[in-house]
A and B are shown apart, each in its own frame.
Chain A
């Protein structure tokens, strides 16, 4: 039973990873791509790791998997934040059809 649940989690996780990658290719600029990669890859990878933990049962493997999942949950948005700020600071422009940029006023100061 736990095998089936684990494999379902892994498959759903991989699907989210794939959709995240499709978004990464299709979206027009750095910031939109970050949206796709952070959200889908975070959830996809966490589901994968939880799936591994469910299949292997309580033990060394599942402890490692869960700890990795927690660290990904904390570090992935932080890294995205750093990349977005870095991209803006080094002058990467928003997509031409973007509707508003409140940050431009701030960074000019």
Chain B
């Protein structure tokens, strides 16, 4: 089943990239998609079934403008710091905790954090407990450290995304 979904996705992207309906193109695309689907179908998350729901798509659509707002803010922030003659930076690596549990959710959180104001995910770790109750920690490089406390840093960096990502991925 995952192979089939992966095959369809690969073929759609192929058709969009080539943008022409032609026997040769379609045959080449089918062959390439089959090979890709057989080799890489494990990339699709195991819990893929839960993503097929209109509620999640709705939250994705709500999340995108919020996300782009923060991306724009992040850029203006970095531009300000890069152009300011005195370069007002105060970097450091802080540790934050996330409430997200699924792998895809944590990945999305890490990528969102990297693209938003002054923060860059360096690594993540968990406390080694059993999968249902374990807590995941992220190490974040912060260009302007406001707090090195785990709880407070979590509040400042991750809360604004977790609320959405929990609804999209979990």
What residues make up the interface of A, taking CB atoms closer than 8 Å to B?
Answer: 16, 19-20, 22-23, 26-29, 31-32, 34-36, 38-40, 42-43, 59-60, 63-64, 67, 73-74, 76-78, 80-81, 84-85, 88, 94-95, 97-104, 106
Contacts and interface: CB of A to CB of B under 8 A. Distances in A.
B92 A94 contact: yes
A100 B148 contact: yes
A102 B94 contact: yes
27 contacts: A19-B83, A22-B83, A31-B91, A31-B93, A35-B141, A36-B82, A43-B75, A60-B19, A60-B20, A63-B16, A64-B16, A67-B13, A74-B111, A76-B115, A77-B111, A81-B122, A85-B123, A94-B93, A95-B91, A97-B90, A97-B91, A99-B91, A99-B145, A100-B92, A100-B94, A103-B95, A106-B139
B121 interface: yes
A7 to B, nearest CB: 19
A23 B20 contact: no
A27 B83 contact: no
A78 to B, nearest CB: 7
A33 to B, nearest CB: 10
A18 to B, nearest CB: 10
B8 interface: no
B92 A23 contact: no
